[in-house]
Amino acid sequence: MKKILLVAAAAGLMSVAACSKSPEASAVENNSEMMADNMDAMAANVADMSNTTANPFAEDNAEAAAENITTAADNVRDAGEDAAKNM
């Protein structure tokens, strides 16, 4: 019984903590997450294109570009989280 009460209290505190963000901070975080998701989709498309080429150099370049886009998406997510924390 005590464990259930503890879990319920923790869930309640987490929901209160989640509501403490300002609407602007939530918007910044949501927008950065959306942009990063779109960039991840672009990276997946580039990676898929790399598998359709007969040129091994073009395949390597496309795979490297996909990795760079994925890294940039991670950076966008991090920047959005940092900006939201500073609001």
The predicted-structure confidence for 61-86, as pLDDT tens digits, reads as follows 999 999 999 999 999 999 999 999 98
In a domain, 43, yes or no: yes
In this structure, is residue 45 part of a structural domain? yes
> How many domains does the structure of the chain reveal?
1
Residue 42 burial class via C-beta count within 10 angstroms: exposed 0-12, middle 13-18, buried 19 and up: middle
- Which residues does 66 contact at the CB level (< 8 Å), separation at least 6? 43, 44, 46, 47, 50
In a domain, 56, yes or no: yes
9 inside domain: no
Residue 2 resides in a domain:
no
- Of the candidates 86, 68, 83, 71, the one whose C-alpha atom is nearest the C-alpha of residue 32 is 83
Give residue 43's domain range.
Answer: 22-85
What's the whole-model pTM score?
0.71
Contact 3, 66 (CB under 8 A): no
What was the pLDDT predicted at 70?
Answer: 96
Does some domain include residue 10?
no
Residue 55 lies inside a defined structural domain of this protein: yes
Q: Residue 48: inside a domain, yes or no?
A: yes
